[in-house]
Every structure is written in C-alpha cells, then in structure tokens.
C-alpha cells in the first residue's frame, strides 16, 4: 500500500485546458513529428492567435526503408507532406534544414546543430518551445533534444520548454486537452502518406492521445502529454 507522499508514486500531471500564450517555436527531427507529437496543441495555439513557427531539422529520407517510393524526389515529397499537414493545423511558417537523418553525429555535427538552433531562437524570440522529450526512443529525437536544450542554455533565453512524445510514452508533467483539435491532428497525419504506408500513425498517435484523457478527462476526448524541460545547459563563454 502506498500513500500520496510515497516517492515511488509518480506525480499527477497538471491538466491544461488552455494553452499558454505567446510566440511558439517547434523543433521536429523529421517531417511529420511536428504533427505526430504536439499537433493538437499547435492547432490550439493557432486558434488562440499565437504566432507559430516550425523547424524541421532532417530531410526524412530514411523513412522509405523498402524503397516503395523509389524514382521520386523523396525528400521533396516529405516536405510537401509536411507543409500539407501543417496547413491543416493553420501553420505556414516552416523552415526545413535538410540535414540527413539517421546519421551518427560527431561533436562537430552537434555543435553545428546547436549553433543553428540558437540562431533560430534568437531570430524568432519564442516564449514557448516544443522539442522531443528527453527519452524519446529514436536516435534523431534524442539528438535534437540535446541540440535544442544546449541552444536554449547558450542563448540564456527565459522561456517555457516542453518535451513531446512520439516513440516512447512518458510520465508527463502536463497534459493539454486537445479534444477540440484531435480531428485536425488526425487529418494532418493523413497528409503523410509515405509514412502511413509503413505505420498507421493516425491510429497509434490518436490512440495515445485518447489514453492521455484517462487521468483528468475521465477517458473522454483526447490530450497530449509534455515534459517540462528543466535546467538546460547554461550559457558558456
């Protein structure tokens, strides 16, 4: 038997029925993660009138392991799908860095990413940043978490940083009610036909969002989970 103050009992996540307001910058490792992770929450930011910019860091060319889309410009196709999905959410401000995905990063590669991310932070000056959560189970997601947290520390900006889940479910700090935008998220995921050819991400990620409604919403509606990013690497000289 446990008690409410038992350290083995995970804390109950906060429920946000409204999104925090301000300028929103989203970092996505592949063209689809911007929808797969925080898509419903981003649609809520748009509806609230918050400026939203998305940065997609890799070209996603490893997303066709069986060569089902051979003979086309696959990187361009994935960018088109990403733009179409974001348009469903009401977002048209997106920057594609085009780095190769699935690469083993050297220290120099990481430094390049941190410099690019720091520049993106300084240019857009966000109040809120979304990025992959610290233990998301994909090497590119993990690398981007390191890059963005180091960039935040380097710039010294005072902002709210929230990690989103795609490959691994977290014990969240916050869940955002996306019941009103879940169907937008589903429609945005449907734009990514190259990925649906391999994994029914519409089914899995909306299922995860339905599960996230269990604690606060009595299993009705949908929610997205986030980890607060604490103590990013501090600015150095």
pLDDT tens-digit readout, 180-220: 999 999 999 999 999 999 999 999 999 999 999 999 999 99
**What pLDDT is recorded for position 38?**
98
Q: Is 12 within a domain?
A: no
Q: Is 11 within a domain?
A: no
CA angle 148, 150, 153 (to 5 degrees): 110
Q: Is 97 within a domain?
A: yes
How distant, in Å, are the alpha carbons of 3, 40, 59, 170 from that of 173?
Answer: 20, 17, 31, 9
The answer to whether residue 231 scores a pLDDT higher than 70 is no
Six-digit token string for 28: 């996505």
CB atoms within 10 A of CB 160: 15
Domain that holds residue 176: 20-61+71-228
Q: Is 211 within a domain?
A: yes
Q: Is 94 within a domain?
A: yes
Q: Is 189 within a domain?
A: yes
pTM of the full structure: 0.94
Say how many domains are in the chain: 1
8 Å CB contact between 226 and 57: no
Q: Is 66 within a domain?
A: no
Spatial CB neighbours of 173, under 8 Å, sequence gap ≥ 6: 11, 13, 14, 226, 227, 228
* pLDDT, mean of residues 8-12: 86
Where residue 199 sits, what CATH number does that domain have? 3.40.50.10320
Strand partners of residue 223 = 177
- The dihedrals phi and psi of 207, each to the nearest 5 degrees, come to -65, -40
Rounded to the nearest integer, the mean pLDDT of the chain is 93
CA angle 106, 117, 55 (to 5 degrees): 110
The answer to whether residue 79 scores a pLDDT higher than 90 is yes
Spatial CB neighbours of 226, under 8 Å, sequence gap ≥ 6: 38, 41, 130, 133, 162, 163, 164, 165, 172, 173, 174, 175, 176
Q: Is 4 within a domain?
A: no
């Amino acid at each position: 038997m446990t008690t409410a103050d038992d350290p083995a009992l995970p804390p109950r996540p906060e429920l946000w029925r409204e999104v925090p307001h301000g300028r929103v910058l989203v970092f996505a490792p592949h063209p689809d993660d911007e929808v797969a992770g925080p898509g419903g929450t981003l649609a809520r930011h748009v509806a609230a009138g918050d400026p939203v910019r998305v940065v997609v860091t890799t070209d996603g060319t490893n997303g066709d392991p069986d060569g089902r889309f051979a003979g086309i410009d696959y990187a361009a196709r994935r960018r088109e799908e990403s733009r179409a999905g974001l348009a469903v959410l009401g977002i048209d401000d997106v920057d594609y860095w085009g780095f190769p995905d699935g690469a083993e990063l050297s220290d120099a590669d990481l430094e390049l990413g941190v410099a690019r991310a720091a520049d993106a932070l300084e240019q857009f000056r966000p109040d809120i940043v979304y990025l992959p959560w610290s233990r998301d189970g994909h090497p590119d997601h993990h690398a981007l978490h390191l890059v963005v947290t180091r960039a935040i520390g380097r710039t010294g900006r005072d902002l709210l940083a929230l990690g989103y889940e795609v490959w691994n479910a977290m014990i969240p700090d916050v869940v955002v009610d996306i019941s009103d935008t879940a169907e937008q998220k589903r429609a945005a995921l449907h734009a990514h036909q190259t990925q649906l050819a391999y994994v029914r991400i519409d089914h899995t990620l909306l299922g995860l969002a339905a599960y996230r409604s269990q604690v606060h919403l009595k299993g009705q509606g949908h929610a997205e989970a986030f980890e607060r990013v604490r103590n990013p690497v501090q600015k150095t000289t």
